[in-house]
A = this chain, B = another copy of it.
Amino acid sequence: MVTIKDIAKASGVSASTVSRALADIDLIPVYTRDKIKKIADELGYIPNRAAKNLKTKKSWNIGIISFVEEKLGFSHYLFANILDSFIKGVEAKNYDITLLSRQLLSDDGNLIGHCKGRNLDGVLILCADTDVKQIQNLLKSDIPVVAIDNFDEKIVSTTHCITSDNRAKMFELTEYILSMGHKNITYICGQDIFVTRERIKGFKAALKMSGIEFTSKMLVESRYYNYEDPQKKINQVLDRSNPPTCILLPDDYAAIKAYETLKLRGLEVGKDISIAGFDGLEVAQIMMPKLTTVYQDTERMGKCAAETILQSINHIETSFLEIIPATLIKGQSVCKIF
């Protein structure tokens, strides 16, 4: 292993000069810099990150921690898209990514110790549950943090948060469904987290706007990224004496499964029954008839998260809350009724 000392010896200067030359510090004349760099190259020098890190307290590493259930992990279609974009953004600035184990979130896990011991320069929290002690500690610490997709009202004014305009787009989606003539609609929503609450607000606002009174029957709580539970809820809702003509699902994942569920009940989507999803997954767009949904701009979300965390690391002030516009996709899964 070639060290700075070896280069120093080979080029007849001191280790500090080599260090400075390699770091492109102006003090060293270009000629000397080039010479040293050339020698370093010839010797096959590879800088030792641990040594640099130990000295400078900067690891050039950003951690990612995710609250997505273990079963899903990267296999979560929406989050995979966000992460891809985030990773691309920070890698462009020469940061490495360290994945943080979900085990660190358990009661006896030590998330913050893990981050500090590794000198992580920042942490991205995906779909945060702000009630978890480990996360609260992390947020209180001096480590730059960005929370993306889900988080909580409580942290929104003190932590960098990035999310889609869930409320507005759910409003728009509902408004569209109402405009198609549906009056009896049911929203099978996800767990009671911020994202869900926002969407419910949009849902209710659109109803109100159209003069339709909201009743508790219009809202059924289910789960995100799940096949079984929303399916069960669909069946329950359709077994009612006065079943809805349109069902809104927690996400596209549940929606694609709904095509099957409904077919098994003898109902044709977009004809006998209308459905809508949320997320805008590529794979949901090939369903027939095409799914009506809200496309979340995962690429922009990830990119924004990358920019935000880099700014935060470099002590550049930015706003805490960043709302990324989503887009209503009008498929054919919601039909006109009279």
- Which A residues are within 8 Å of any B CB, using their own CB? 1, 46-51, 53-54, 59, 61, 70, 72-75, 77, 80-81, 83-84, 87-88, 91, 96-99, 101, 103, 113, 116-119, 227, 256-257, 259-260, 263, 283, 286, 288
**Which residues of the other chain, B, contact A77 by a CB distance below 8 angstroms?**
75, 77
- In order of increasing CB-CB distance, the 9 nearest A-B pairs are A73-B84, A50-B53, A74-B80, A50-B54, A97-B99, A91-B101, A75-B80, A46-B113, A46-B117
- B288:A260 contact, CB within 8 angstroms: yes
- A51:B49 contact, CB within 8 angstroms: no
**Which residue of the partner chain, among B59, B99, B113, B288, contacts A99 with CB atoms under 8 Å?**
B99
- Closest Cβ of chain B to A261, distance in Å, is 9
| Complex: A103 Cα to B96 Cα, angstroms | 12
**Which residues of the other chain, B, contact A80 by a CB distance below 8 angstroms?**
73-75, 80
| Complex: A151 Cα to B258 Cα, angstroms | 38
Copies per complex of this chain = 2
| Complex: A336 Cα to B158 Cα, angstroms | 63
- B74:A83 contact, CB within 8 angstroms: yes
| Complex: A4 Cα to B51 Cα, angstroms | 18
Highest count of chain B CB atoms <10 Å: which of A73, A83, A113: A73
**Which residues of the other chain, B, contact A98 by a CB distance below 8 angstroms?**
61, 96-99
Q: Provide 10 A-B residue pairs closer than 8 Å at the C-beta atoms, listed in order of the A residue.
A: A1-B116, A49-B117, A61-B98, A80-B80, A97-B98, A227-B286, A256-B283, A259-B288, A260-B288, A263-B288
- A59:B50 contact, CB within 8 angstroms: yes
- B88:A70 contact, CB within 8 angstroms: yes
Name the residue of chain B whose CB is nearest to the CB of A44.
B113
